[in-house]
Amino acid sequence: MSFDVSHPEVQDAVQRALAEDIGTGDITTNLCVPAETKATGHMIARQSLTLAGVELLPLIFAGCRVALSSQSGDHLQDGDEIAVVQGPARALLTGERTALNFVQRLSGIATAAHAYVCAVEGTGCRILDTRKTTPGLRRLEKMAAAAGGATNYRIGLFDAVLIKNNHITAAGGVPTALERTRSAGVPVEIEVRTRPELDEALTCGATHLLLDNLHPDEAREWIAHIRAFDKRRATVELSGGITLENARAYAETGADFLSSGSITHSARAVNINLRLELLR
């Protein structure tokens, strides 16, 4: 998923953010700064980070000249320039916080995703994002995760089947749940909690398995069992309790994917500033 700023959800998110902040008008800026004053704003990274969301700046600073020095996915160091914005000082001051909120937050997600990707480098295991996102900002946050190197999983409940433990309970068991999703026309993944459920899923031809809350040693044992049972090699995702510190241990179990909600729900905003200079 690239940073498609033309997507209606992205456009709406930016407009809602601006309306939330500006309301009936930026009274401080409008009182303090003459309308004719021109300025240049330099957006600068103040730490090591993976950038995301900079492509939103032309939407936020509409009517200003925006030159992007970096793009989403770039790895920056303290002092690296991200963008230069030139136009009315009022426009730069009014859009400053919205711009920083988006780029700091989204770059925090990209930075977290990149850290996980680096942690499993060389294992062949890929990092997945989840639906544990800020309500209303999922598309942007998944774009940010992808900018950091994570693989986007389903965007919502509509584009893939994920049969979890409560679905299995409500459906009446693993075989029934899988049978009812055979004609879905989208990828189907099933979470299994016990070895009997695992064997049921394999017997029913499951092609994508989610193993949750296993210790790495348990995960390795289960995956070896899956490989011995299923010569077609069902793909395996591990989730639950996965952190930067233990991600490599999980990746070395032979799993195809690791998923971690912390990439989006616990990402820490990075340090970026916007330095204003008046044009003479």
The tens digit of pLDDT for each residue in 158-177 reads: 999 999 999 999 999 999 99
Q: Two tokens at 269?
A: 């905003």
- Tens digit of pLDDT for each residue in 202-215? 999 999 999 999 99
- Residue 165 exposure: Cα atoms within 13 Å on the Cβ side: 6
Q: Is the pLDDT of residue 5 over 90?
A: yes
Annotation marks residue 132 as catalytic: yes
81, 212, 221, 230: the catalytic one is 212
**CA dihedral of residues 45, 47, 49, 54 (deg, nearest 10):** -20
Are both 58 and 149 inside the same structural domain? no
Q: Two tokens at 129?
A: 């994002």
Q: How many domains, the chain?
A: 2
Q: What SS3 state is found at 12?
A: helix
Question: Which residues, 6 or more positions from 15, have their beta carbon under 8 angstroms from its beta carbon?
Answer: none
In a domain, 1, yes or no: no
- Asked whether 276 and 39 are in contact (CB, 8 A), the reply is yes
In a domain, 176, yes or no: yes
Annotation marks residue 142 as catalytic: no
Are both 62 and 186 inside the same structural domain? no
- Asked whether 223 and 255 are in contact (CB, 8 A), the reply is yes
Are both 128 and 257 inside the same structural domain? yes
Are both 165 and 94 inside the same structural domain? no
Select from 271, 27, 15, 264 the least CA-distant residue to 150.
264
What percentage of the chain carries pLDDT values higher than 70?
98
Q: Is the pLDDT of residue 2 over 80?
A: no
Are both 228 and 132 inside the same structural domain? yes
What is the pLDDT averaged over residues 28-51?
Answer: 98
What is the pLDDT averaged over residues 62-91?
Answer: 98
Annotation marks residue 212 as catalytic: yes
pLDDT computed for residue 264 by the predictor? 97
131, 164, 180, 220: the catalytic one is 164
What is the pLDDT averaged over residues 114-139?
Answer: 97
Give 4's pLDDT tier (boundaries 50, 70, 90): confident
Q: Cβ atoms within 10 A of the Cβ of 241, count?
A: 13
- How far CA 278 is from CA of 98, 163, 182, 238, in Å, comes to 21, 57, 63, 53
What is the pLDDT averaged over residues 212-235?
Answer: 90
Q: Is the pLDDT of residue 94 over 60?
A: yes
Are both 95 and 52 inside the same structural domain? yes
Are both 136 and 102 inside the same structural domain? no
- How far CA 182 is from CA of 5, 64, 179, 206, in Å, comes to 35, 52, 6, 10
- How far CA 40 is from CA of 33, 82, 227, 273, in Å, comes to 14, 13, 59, 13
Q: Is the pLDDT of residue 117 over 70?
A: yes
191, 200, 237, 256: the catalytic one is 191
9, 21, 38, 97: the catalytic one is 97
Question: Domain span at residue 149?
Answer: 123-265
Q: What SS3 state is found at 218?
A: helix
What is the pLDDT averaged over residues 172-199?
Answer: 95
Annotation marks residue 97 as catalytic: yes
Annotation marks residue 164 as catalytic: yes
Give 229's pLDDT tier (boundaries 50, 70, 90): confident
pLDDT computed for residue 1 by the predictor? 52
Q: Cβ atoms within 10 A of the Cβ of 20, count?
A: 10
Instruction: State the average pLDDT for the chain.
Output: 96
Are both 198 and 274 inside the same structural domain? no
Give the CATH number, domain containing residue 136. 3.20.20.70
Are both 159 and 220 inside the same structural domain? yes
What is the pLDDT averaged over residues 168-196?
Answer: 95
Are both 258 and 139 inside the same structural domain? yes
User: Helix, strand, coil: what percent of the chain each, to 5?
Assistant: 40, 20, 40
In a domain, 169, yes or no: yes
In a domain, 192, yes or no: yes
pLDDT computed for residue 231 by the predictor? 66
User: Could you give the CA distance from residue 248 to residue 166 in angstroms, rounded to a whole number?
Assistant: 29
In a domain, 2, yes or no: no
46, 132, 180, 193: the catalytic one is 132
Are both 52 and 176 inside the same structural domain? no
Give 233's pLDDT tier (boundaries 50, 70, 90): confident
Enter the pTM of the model. 0.95
